[in-house]
A and B are shown apart, each in its own frame.
Chain A
Amino acid sequence: AQSVTQPDIHITVSEGASLELRCNYSYGATPYLFWYVQSPGQGLQLLLKYFSGDTLVQGIKGFEAEFKRSQSSFNLRKPSVHWSDAAEYFCAVGRQKLVFGQGTRLTINP
Chain B
Amino acid sequence: EPEVTQTPSHQVTQMGQEVILRCVPISNHLYFYWYRQILGQKVEFLVSFYNNEISEKSEIFDDQFSVERPDGSNFTLKIRSTKLEDSAMYFCASTGGASVTYEQYFGPGTRLTVT
Contacts and interface: CB of A to CB of B under 8 A. Distances in A.
Nearest to B41: A102
A96 B48 contact: yes
Given A51-B102, A96-B56, A96-B102, A90 B43 contact: yes
B102 A97 contact: no
A43 B48 contact: no
Given A43-B91, A44-B91, A98 B42 contact: no
Interface string B23-64: 000000001010100000111110010000001101000000
Given A96-B31, A96-B56, A97-B56, A46 B103 contact: yes
A42 interface: yes
Interface of A: 32, 34, 36, 42-46, 49, 51, 90, 92, 94-103
Interface residues of B, number: 23
A97 to B, nearest CB: 5
6 shortest A-B CB distances, which residue pairs? A43-B108, A44-B106, A100-B43, A102-B42, A43-B106, A97-B45
A43 B107 contact: yes
Contacts of B41: 102
B109 A43 contact: yes
B2 to A, nearest CB: 13
Contacts of B43: 44, 90, 92, 98, 100
Residue from B33, B41, B58, B103 with most neighbouring chain A CB atoms (10 Å): B103
A63 to B, nearest CB: 15
Contacts of B56: 96-97
Interface string B91-105: 101000000001111
B105 A99 contact: no
A96 B51 CA distance: 14
Contacts of A101: 42
